[in-house]
Amino acid sequence: MNQIIYLGAGCFWCVEAIFVRIKGVMKVTSGYMGGHLPNPTYEKVCEGNTGHVEVVKLDFDPEKIPLEKILNSFWKAHDPTTLNRQGPDVGEQYSSVIFCSQEVQKNIAQNSKKEAQKAFVEPIVTKIELAGPFYPAEEYHQNFFEKNPTQGYCLAQIPPKLKKLNLV
């Protein structure tokens, strides 16, 4: 039986481009979570006052890839020690966060965070919380890198991440 977890690690275009390439991840959907405004839009989230984070919803088969391996990729894919920032993207919507569907996932994520901290000098600031309402992003954000592989931002940000994770 598949499980769902939501990961925020900066721009969802980058996070989606990574996790669609990981075997055992069945589906990746870009969207928003954690805010107070129902049915947020990209424009509203970018204004920075909805409280939402850009996340990807991962539908994965734990028999093919355990959550621990997904989280190992998550820690390597971004800098979890920077608050509300990933590379050139600055704002609360780019927070490092793990939204869990189940309490057991939360425990696994907390243990994973403790283990990941050993690889960083600065403290990891990633929030780990139970998931609330998820709002899929607008259609043009879905599979953005696959649809726009030569777009400037994508070219600058995504290939280095894929190379770092041996996904190219």
Which residues share a beta bridge with 98?
A: 7, 128
Active site (annotated) includes residue 154? no
pTM of the model: 0.97
3-state secondary structure the chain: CCEEEEEEECCHHHHHHHHCCCCCEEEEEEEEECCCCCCCCHHHHHHCCCCCEEEEEEEECCCCCCHHHHHHHHHHHCCCCCCCEECCEECHHHCEEEEECCHHHHHHHHHHHHHHHHHCCCCCCCEEEECCCEEECCHHHCCHHHHCCCCHHHHHHHHHHHHHCCCC
Domain range for 15 is: 3-164
Indicate which residue of 11, 14, 100, 154 is catalytic.
Answer: 11
Local confidence band at 168 (pLDDT 50, 70, 90 cut-offs): confident
pLDDT digit string (tens) for 88-136?
999 999 999 999 999 999 999 999 999 999 999 999 999 999 999 999 9
Backbone angles phi and psi of 39, in degrees to 5: 50, 55
Q: Rounded distance, CA 52 to CA 105, Å?
A: 21
Q: Note whether 25 and 58 are within 8 A (CB).
A: yes
Give residue-wise pLDDT tens across range 31-78: 999 999 999 999 999 999 999 999 999 999 999 999 999 999 999 999
Number of domains in the chain: 1
Q: Cα–Cα distance between 9 and 80 in angstroms, integer?
A: 8
CATH code of 11's domain: 3.30.1060.10
